[in-house]
Amino acid sequence: MLQFINKNSTNYYKLVQDKNMSKILITNNKKHKQLVVVGNMLKQLGFSIVYSQTAQETINIIKDNNQKIDLLICNIFLEDMSGFELSKNIRSIEQNLPILFVSQQLTPELIDQLYSSGASDFIAIPCLKVELINRVNNLLKLASYKEQIEECKNRVDTNLQVLQSNAHDAKNPLSSIFSLSGMPATVFTSTEEMQQMLDIVHDASKIVINLINEALDYFKLSNNEMQFEMLPLDILSVLNQVVEINSPLAKVKKQTINFSYDNNAEYLVLADNLKIFRAINNIVGNAIKFSPLGKNIWINISRKNSDIIIQVKDEGPGFKQEELAKVFKENQKFSAKPTGGEISTGLGLMIVKFILDKHNAQIIVTSEEGKGSVFTMYFKPYEKK
């Protein structure tokens, strides 16, 4: 039978510290009651326990996205399928879920079958409680390490995607710079023609610099290295700068920026000036970039209740309904394309969201495909002491 150990045991406290309210699914044949004893003991230690009586019920629970199962403890002999078949089914759904099989009889043949079917570990019952605790603890740790490895792999893959995407986008402007900068001055018949060439080089250089800066910012974010200097800031002055810088770009596309605010209101927030400029400028820049020629862009700042609200509205193509949930995710490409040949990296809005999160500010996007988008930012006012 299961034997209890003293609660002063090092293993007991190590388990309690490591478990972090892990959820354990116990699948037990109705004819055997010993796994109920196991479940009760683990529940007393603070684990969240879920029970199932059949293999199919177990599969359904693991498939349920609302049920995050951290460990499966399973009887080898079930009524609707063997534990070996269940294990193979689970591995087709969830590769990293640890599976601990229990049985009263464990032969070398059974053990070989268990490992072949994808089991993580096994234990014969009755057993010592300390043995069960250590098996559970070790399997949960192993699963945690696997998750961390998977997370690191995903980060490396995403970083490579960012590098490849930005390197691809930088290829054309760099080719233009290389070709035009190598042309002899005698080729140009007038100062005006030379100035046009220099303007092209300047614009191409700006594109490359933006691509490099966005990639560097992304890497800083992914490594949590971006620094913020929070100081009292009149965010209206930031908006004025954004409008001033973007007005020539809008003029080229015959777009009209409609900027409105209340002169009598106070718009003081606690913010990093450069970072918050970067975030708002990105939103306004996107409105210009994705809106067709001759359209309107509205920028408004207001005070409502306890919030300072900045709203940027455009008449661009908007987002498809299925794209809205991914707007602020990293390295996303959307159906809408820039209308003036501009470059879009797919990183800008993700960086915007990160910056606003650091300012305890909220951003919401509403959009209807073909009718434009509205980005609304909510800031908490800075109260002078």
Calculate the average pLDDT of the chain: 81
Residues 75-113: pLDDT tens digits?
887 878 888 888 888 888 888 889 998 877 777 887 888
Burial class (CB in 10 A: 0-12, 13-18, 19+), 133: buried
Of 133-142, 177-186, 283-292, 361-370, the poorest mean pLDDT is in 177-186
Q: What is the predicted pLDDT for the residue at 28?
A: 81
pLDDT at 18 over 70: no
Q: What is the predicted pLDDT for the residue at 67?
A: 79
Q: Are 39 and 125 in contact (CB under 8 A)?
A: no
* Three-state secondary structure call for residue 67: coil
Q: What is the predicted pLDDT for the residue at 8?
A: 45
Percent of the chain whose predicted confidence (pLDDT) is above 90: 18
Q: Which whole-number Å values give the CA distances from 164 to 151, 161, 268, 284, in the listed order?
A: 20, 5, 40, 26
Residues 153-194: pLDDT tens digits?
877 776 776 676 667 667 767 887 888 788 787 777 788 888
pLDDT at 14 over 60: no
Of 18-22, 217-221, 277-281, the poorest mean pLDDT is in 18-22
* Selection from 11, 99, 14, 19 nearest residue 55 by Cα: 99
Of 9-13, 33-37, 305-309, the poorest mean pLDDT is in 9-13
Residues 330-376: pLDDT tens digits?
655 665 666 766 655 566 788 888 889 989 999 999 988 888 899 99
Token pair 């055997």: residue: 32
* Phi and psi angles of residue 235, each rounded to the nearest 5 degrees, phi first: -70, -15
Of 11-15, 46-50, 84-88, 108-112, the poorest mean pLDDT is in 11-15
Q: What is the predicted pLDDT for the residue at 148?
A: 81
Q: Which whole-number Å values give the CA distances from 210 to 16, 201, 261, 320, in the listed order?
A: 49, 14, 30, 27
pLDDT at 116 over 80: yes
Distance between CA atoms of 292 and 315, rounded to whole angstroms? Answer: 8
pTM of the model: 0.55
pLDDT at 280 over 70: yes
Distance between CA atoms of 249 and 251, rounded to whole angstroms? Answer: 5
Q: What is the predicted pLDDT for the residue at 15?
A: 44
pLDDT at 3 over 80: no
Q: Which whole-number Å values give the CA distances from 2 to 5, 10, 41, in the listed order?
A: 10, 19, 9
Burial class (CB in 10 A: 0-12, 13-18, 19+), 61: middle
* pLDDT, greater one: 110 or 269: 269
Return the top range by mean pLDDT from 10-14, 262-266, 329-333: 262-266
* pLDDT, greater one: 178 or 229: 229
Percent of the chain whose predicted confidence (pLDDT) is above 70: 86
